[in-house]
Amino acid sequence: NAGVTQTPKFQVLKTGQSMTLQCAQDMNHEYMSWYRQDPGMGLRLIHYSVGAGITDQGEVPNGYNVSRSTTEDFPLRLLSAAPSQTSVYFCASSSPGQPQHFGDGTRLSIL
């Protein structure tokens, strides 16, 4: 049972480049979400989805896009990378009212 799988684990981008962070879960969870973790800031919610075809913004959505075409996958797109988006990104999934399962994160550096 793989749980939540994030790829890549590490990525370095130049300012202005775009990329997609992948997230897949094999637990048939309805809810999926993306967080970023920065020093002293905890985990801040970027975007979330309560099911295929349904997405909504979290606390810090600017500069990011998401889509949810299947239950399993929830990719996060950086449209035009900025140094302020240097962070560790975590994807999580859960069933309603249940604890979230997290992936191991993607460490992203924007130069």
Residues interacting with another protein, by CB under 8 A? Answer: 4, 30-31, 33, 35, 40-45, 48, 50, 58, 90, 92, 94, 96-97, 99-105
Nearer to another protein, 58 or 75 (CB): 58
Nearer to another protein, 17 or 67 (CB): 67
Report, in Å, the least distance between residue 43 CB and another protein: 4
Give kind and range of the element (H or E) at residue 45: strand 42-51
Determine the Cα–Cα distance for residues 33 and 49; give it in Å rounded to an integer: 6
Nearer to another protein, 14 or 40 (CB): 40
Report, in Å, the least distance between residue 108 CB and another protein: 14
Report, in Å, the least distance between residue 16 CB and another protein: 28
Phi, psi of 70 (to 5 degrees): -130, 165
Determine the Cα–Cα distance for residues 107 and 89; give it in Å rounded to an integer: 6
Determine the Cα–Cα distance for residues 53 and 60; give it in Å rounded to an integer: 21
Report, in Å, the least distance between residue 77 CB and another protein: 20
Nearer to another protein, 78 or 92 (CB): 92
For residues 3, 97, 57, 104, the Cα torsion angle rounded to the nearest 10 degrees is: -20
